[in-house]
Structure formats: C-alpha cells, structure tokens
Amino acid sequence: MSADALKRVVLFIVFILAQGIVLGRIHLLGVATPLFYVYFVALFPRNYPKWGVLLWSFCLGILVDTFSNTPGLASTSLTLLAFIQPWFFELFVPRDSVDDLKPSLSSIGLLKYSYYITTLVLFYCLVFYSLEMFNFFNGLRWAMCVVGSTVITLALIFTFEIARSRQ
C-alpha cells in the first residue's frame, strides 16, 4: 500500500477512536457535540479519485455510527459530504495551482480556507441533525444543535490547522 493510503488509514483509526471514546461524549449545554471526523473528509486533496473519497467517508461514517449506536446516521451525512467535497474544493483553488493541492491554511490562505471549512462543517451539521431529529417540530433545538456543533467542531479544526501550519 502506498504511503498516502497508510497515512490515511492511521488518520482514519485515530479519528474513529477519538470520536468514539472522547469527543462523542461531550455535549456542551446539551446541544453542541464536536464532530471532529468531518475534518477527515475535508482533508482529501484535489483530484483524489472520487470513488475513493466516497468509500473512505462511507466507512468512516459506519464505524463512527457503530460507536454512537446510531447506524446509518453519520454514514449518510458523510457520504453526501464526500460527494460534494471534490467539487466544492475546486471552487477555492487558484488557477495555477498544483494538481494534488491539499486543503489547508497554508495552501489556500486563511480566508478561503475559513469559507471552505465553515461551509463544509455547517452543511454536515445541517444534514446530520435533520436526520437525527427527523422532524422540525422543535425548530429551536434543531437550530441550536446545528450552530453549537458547528462552532465547537470548527474550534477544534482550526486549532489543529493552526498547529499544522506552524510546523
């Protein structure tokens, strides 16, 4: 297996364990849950085979669900996210960039990266919580969940990104 695939496998396992053991149990104010594994999907570089993105995300979703005992919830949302991620990242890529550009703070700049990651995370949280609640009777709670989780997830992701770009 290539180095890249191996790295990805390790990341995969780390994300799953982190989510299952630590992060999945944090519910700030009863609404906000850090959904850190979204970062895994956001890390796929440009021109990575689309079927690969889909398959990785699907498997990640399944395993995260296994830990949280909600089969199908995360996998649905992550597969959807993985479907749009390649196309979405393409929107932020400058015209003369490398073919396998990796999305990070250093590669496309703070502003663009913020837009990119915020949109992805927000989209994911919308889909995730809509599926989880499966009704909109409690509109306020739904909105609070979405916003809260987005905020806390973004906080985590930005922390990591800044740490990476410092390296």
Mark 10-49 with x for binding to other proteins (rule: CB under 8 A) and - for no binding: ----------------------------------------
Query: Rule CB under 8 A: which of 72-131 touch other proteins?
Result: 72-73, 75-76, 79-80, 82-83, 131
- Among 50, 102, 112, 141, interactor with other proteins by CB under 8 A: 50
**Contact assessment for residue 124 and residue 81, using Cβ atoms and an 8 Å cutoff:** yes
Q: Does residue 138 touch other proteins according to CB under 8 A?
A: no
Report the C-alpha dihedral over residues 147, 148, 151, 155, rounded to 10 degrees: -170
Question: Cα separations (Å) of 87 from 29, 71, 83, 93, 166?
Answer: 35, 27, 8, 10, 28
- Among 2, 95, 134, 163, interactor with other proteins by CB under 8 A: 134
d(CA 145, CA 21): 21
**Contact assessment for residue 120 and residue 85, using Cβ atoms and an 8 Å cutoff:** yes
- Interacting residues with other proteins (CB under 8 A): 50-51, 54-55, 58, 61-62, 65, 70-73, 75-76, 79-80, 82-83, 131, 134-135
